Amino acid sequence: MLNIIKFNATAGAQTVPVMPKQPRVKPDTGNIKIDNVSISFGRGEQHHLAVSETSIEIKPGEFVCILGPSGCGKSTLLNAVAGYVKPTRGQVLLDGKAVTGPGPDRGMVFQQYSLFPWKTVRENVAFGPRILGRASPTPEAIADTFIDMVGLTKFAKRYPAELSGGMQQRVGIARALANYPTVLLMDEPFGALDSQTRHVMQENLLKIWGEFGITVLFVTHDIDEAVFLGDRVLVMSASPGKIIADIPVRLPRPRDPDIALDEDFMRIKRLCHERIKQESMRAFDQQNT
Amino acid sequence: MPQNLAHAVAEQPGDRQHHSDETVGDAGTAAEASTTDATPRAEVVDGLDRSDEPGLLTRLLQVLIGPSFVMTWFRRSLALALGVIVWHFAVATDFNWYINFENVAAPSEVWASLTKQLSGSMFYKHIAVSLQRILIAYVLAAVVGISLGLVMGRSRIANDLVMPFVELFRPIPAVAWIPLAILMWPTEEGSIIYITYLGALFPIILNTVSGVEQTPEVLVRAARSLGAGRMQIFRHVVLPAALPNIATGLAVGMGVAWFSLLAGEIISGQYGIGYFTWTAYHLIKYDDIIVGMLTIGLLGTASTLAVRLLMAPFLKWQRKAR
């Protein structure tokens, strides 16, 4: 299995080189500051504190994973950065400016089925540049660059329903990047994929991130995924949603899937695992009392 | 695979072509997946490569001359032929047991009467007048229904203001509108078109509303994060998301338009295929009654099919969607 992944990794490298000559992402942009944010839903009996007094600072170009069990509020926190959810208290700052709504400076990749089914791959990726009124290069030219980057040039004229789940997510990533955002927000993007495809996607994502150097905030419940991808893993606990551990991942880059056999990798993984386990036990006990 | 195909056909006769295409496409994908597994190639990244997929022409041929296509049409023709035979014997034996066939024209008489009508010009005039009424009423209903439906689907207030009327008027059959339509409209033609229009309007409104309401929220979010504003979301997300339902509404609306038209044409003094049928009854021309009825059935089916064909280019992205 590892052989397949390695093989595909080299294949990926061959398909990636076409990059925009001048990336529009300025260095030192993409600083995210989550400042004492609380998010609650409902009132009275229905009241639910999804995120509680959370503060995080993410450096430009950093790859940060938020790891936690389902329902712990990690997606809600991501949605606050995206601008879909307004914090009940506190605020989210992007490069010093308060986030008030969704915008093209933050590319969003969803778990699944977020491509416009009535648009072809090219039309999907060109959508952002078109909406932003890009004239030169044309939206189509931008789209083709990014479609090539994710290795789907042959599928540019296909509709999403004709693609596999992994391909659809690659289009989703290309679409998010086509606006040259300073931040990429990813909400369990590979959660619905089979494990082989997921591994390949993780590697491709790291390559793309390496070339772009943009900030990535990546939500997942998969410990291996979080440790393999991130510079930091933020472990989140449930009810109320809170960051309970900030674990730095000081593993060399570029990372190879073989790193999963590395002692440091296992140590960090175990650390995450322990924190998550404590939390899930606690959450489980809470639900049953 | 043939059984699957036949199954799909049996379930949804209207979407036969759609289903066949889908199944053929799936077979291709499965085959490719297995070949690429065995011999991975450099450009394959997640195990899917479609270079071996049959061309469009090949697939079209497979669908057209495939056993399922021939069988479907064979079975359908057979069913119709059986119906005619049963009809013939019911009339020939003067079947009269609760239902009375003694005054029903035989298939041969209807055929003779039809050929006679087709050789004259009056019959075509009736058809042309009916078609013109349908066209005016239907285009009006489509424009008003889709616009209203889109607004109602996006705005709670608009929905609350219009929906009570839709719910109240929708169950009223076209025939019940005749007296009021005569009183309200200055011309007979106006009344008939109005009744036809009402029939087509409600299914179009309701389907459009439900289409808009079913817009996946994640697509709206995706569009917003890509920088789209309200109008752009409406044009690029909400409208296309509602299109499949709008197409259904338009097809259903066409069917309802026809039987509303027939009710309306009872009051018509001169022309229309409904008038033709109704007059045939009064003039005791029992063969012409059936000629009229079958013509209505044929025209209704043909115009519904035309609506589906007109909408097909806008829905081609759906062909392989689940």
Q: What is the pLDDT of residues A72-88, one digit of tens each?
A: 889 999 999 999 999 99
- Supply the pLDDT for residue B31: 37
Residue B140 pLDDT: 98
CA distance A131 to A1: 42
A contact residues 192-251, partner B, Cβ 8 Å cutoff: 196-197, 200-201, 204
Contact: B321, A176; criterion CB under 8 Å: no
At B67, list the tokens: 């056993």
**In this complex, do A175 and B243 lie within 8 Å of one another by their Cβ atoms?**
no
| Residue A24: CB atoms within 10 Å | 9
- Which residues are CB-neighbours of A146 under 8 A, at least 6 positions away? A125, A174, A175, A177, A178
Cα distance between the two ends of chain A = 44
Spans of chain B below 50 pLDDT:
1-50, 321-322
My answer on whether B144 and B234 are in the same domain is yes
B79 plus B179 within the same structural domain? no
Contacts of B47 in chain A (CB under 8 A): 164, 166, 196-197
Task: Give the β-pairing of A106-109 and A97-98.
Answer: unpaired
Residues B117 and B78 in one domain: no
Residues B124 and B77 in one domain: no
Q: Give the side-chain half-sphere CA count within 13 A for B120.
A: 10
- What CATH number is given to the structural domain containing B283? 1.10.3720.10
Q: What pLDDT band is residue A219 in, cutting at 50, 70 and 90?
A: very high
Q: What pLDDT digit, counting tens, does each position of A10-44 carry?
A: 334 334 434 444 444 566 788 999 999 999 988 87
Range of the domain at B41: 2-89
How many degrees, rounded to 5, is the angle at CA B265 between CA B260 and CA B271?
140
Homologous superfamily of A2-105+181-287: P-loop containing nucleotide triphosphate hydrolases (3.40.50.300)
Predicted pLDDT of residue B10: 37
Average pLDDT, chain B: 82
Q: For residue B99, tell me if it sits in a domain.
A: no
Residues 249-278 of A with CB under 8 A from B: none
Q: What is the pLDDT of residue B30?
A: 37
Work out how many domains chain B is built from and give that number.
2
Task: Convert the pLDDT of each residue in A166-214 to its tens digit.
Answer: 999 999 999 999 999 999 999 999 998 998 999 999 999 999 998 888 9
Q: What is the pLDDT of residues A93-111, one digit of tens each?
A: 999 999 999 999 999 999 8
Contact A99/A252 with Cβ under 8 angstroms?
Answer: no
**Domain's final residue, options B89, B122, B146:** B89
Interface contact flag, B45 A161, Cβ < 8 Å: no
Residues of A in Cβ contact (< 8 Å) with B50 = 154-155
Tokens of A238: 């449930």
Cα separations in angstroms, B138 against A38, B16, B54, B142, B196: 54, 26, 41, 6, 8
| Averaged pLDDT of chain A | 86
Complete DSSP assignment for B256-306:
HHHHHHHHHTTS-SS--HHHHHHHHHHTT-HHHHHHHHHHHHHHHHHHHHH
Domain boundaries, chain A: 2-105+181-287
For residue B197, the SS3 value is helix
Instruction: Say if residues B144 and B201 touch (Cβ distance below 8 Å).
Output: yes
Does the residue B108 lie in any domain?
no
Residue-wise burial string across B175-211, b where 16 or more C-beta atoms lie within 10 A, e elsewhere: eebbeebeeeeeebbebbbbbbbbbbbbbbbbbbbbb
pLDDT for position B316: 86
User: Most A CBs within 10 Å: which of B26, B39, B218, B225, as the mutation test of the A interface?
Assistant: B225
Rounded percentage of chain A residues whose pLDDT exceeds 70: 89
d(CA B122, CA A143): 60
* Chain A residues 90-129 with a CB less than 8 Å from chain B: 101-104, 106-108, 110, 113-120, 127-128
